[in-house]
Amino acid sequence: MKTVYALCLYKGIDRVKQDKADFDRLKEVRCWLLDMDGTVTLGETALPNAFAFFDAICEQDYLFITNNSSHDKNHYVRRLNRIGFATDAAQILTSTDALIAFLKSKNEPLCVFPVGTPSFEAELSQGGIAITHERDQQIDFVILAFDTTLNYQKLDIACDYIRKGTPYLATNPDRVCPLPDNRVLPDCGALIAYMETCTGRKPVRIVGKPETDLIDLVLAEGSYKRSQLAMVGDRLYTDIEAAKRAGIVSVLVLSGETKREDLTQSEQPDFVFKDIGELASAILRIGDR
């Protein structure tokens, strides 16, 4: 006979009934993969009840997994520590890490034309990837990233390379980056749409979520089994889809882009919570039972 837990017993579980085996999936988690903006933070502010989550998982590990390639790890470490989340560079993975790992897997010297911020370019260079800012060079890829320093000349040169047959990569498909007061910034997904319109070509690869490259980096380190990882995020088409593709637990929080009415039968995460604080309540209750 199945044991069923009602919503009133586990505040925050977004289902009226839940099988005990599903709750056991949360109990098995040893490392939480956390999206940042819309999930734990919004800009320079912690989202409500975020600190309760870190109190609840005090004996478990966590990594921040972000598609945002506009900043380097040290930027995120400083930002998170300012907010009050104790974090070091080893606990940050960005889509730039996934991109560099993909480029290095080619096992040959590469040169790229980047559409990205200076810190993004610096990380590529530190990763052993040669870059050029000039047109009509011998390059291997055009790279599209979340570029808050974007100008028309970059787009013009990138478009020229791609129209002449150079393949292009993208760090992430996020259409916008959320800001406080319901504002957004155009993100890399908007650049992909721009480039597809100009060239008629799609990127040969997108390395950020929903692709599994970032989760694969965690698994390759060897400290955790798939069943011990959970992805927590606010976007169905990146965070939750990446978790599904990787075969790990998917946890949606409704504190960011996704709203309850966006959920469909075909896009159902393993768990849905109002925010990460309600996830914390569920973790504590599971631990007590």
Beta strands in 145-215 (DSSP E): 168-170, 176-178, 184-186, 205-206
Residue 12 pLDDT: 42
Residue 182 pLDDT: 82
Structural domains in the chain plus CATH codes: 24-67+209-288 (3.40.50.1000), 107-206 (3.40.50.1000)
User: For residue 30, what are its two tokens?
Assistant: 């040893």
- Please report, for the chain, how many H helices and E strands are present, in that order: 10, 17
Residue 10 pLDDT: 36
Residue 43 pLDDT: 83
Quote the CA–CA distance of 144 and 151 in Å, as a whole number: 13
For residue 240, how many C-alpha atoms fall within 13 Å in the half-sphere facing its CB?
Answer: 21
> Global pTM?
0.87
Average predicted confidence (pLDDT) for the chain: 89
Instruction: Pick the closest to residue 55 from 287, 243, 280 (CA basis).
Output: 280
Quote the CA–CA distance of 250 and 229 in Å, as a whole number: 9
Residue 259 pLDDT: 87
Low-confidence ranges of the chain (pLDDT < 50): 1-17, 289
Q: 1: helix, coil or strand?
A: coil
For residue 142, how many C-alpha atoms fall within 13 Å in the half-sphere facing its CB?
Answer: 29
Residue 229 pLDDT: 98
Per residue in 189-235, pLDDT tens? 999 999 999 999 999 999 999 999 999 999 999 999 999 999 999 99
Please give the radius of gyration of the chain, using alpha carbons only, rounded to the nearest integer.
Answer: 20
Phi/psi of residue 130, nearest 5 degrees: -75, 145
Phi/psi of residue 207, nearest 5 degrees: -95, -20
Quote the CA–CA distance of 41 and 83 in Å, as a whole number: 9
Quote the CA–CA distance of 244 and 264 in Å, as a whole number: 15
> Are residues 221 and 157 in contact, defined by beta-carbon separation less than 8 angstroms?
no
Residue 23 pLDDT: 74
> Are residues 218 and 225 in contact, defined by beta-carbon separation less than 8 angstroms?
no
Residue 66 pLDDT: 94
Q: Long-range contacts made by residues 283-289, C-beta under 8 angstroms, separation at least 24?
A: 283/26, 283/53, 283/56, 283/57, 284/56, 285/9, 285/10, 285/11, 286/10, 286/23, 286/26, 286/27, 287/27
Per residue in 98-111, pLDDT tens? 999 999 999 899 99
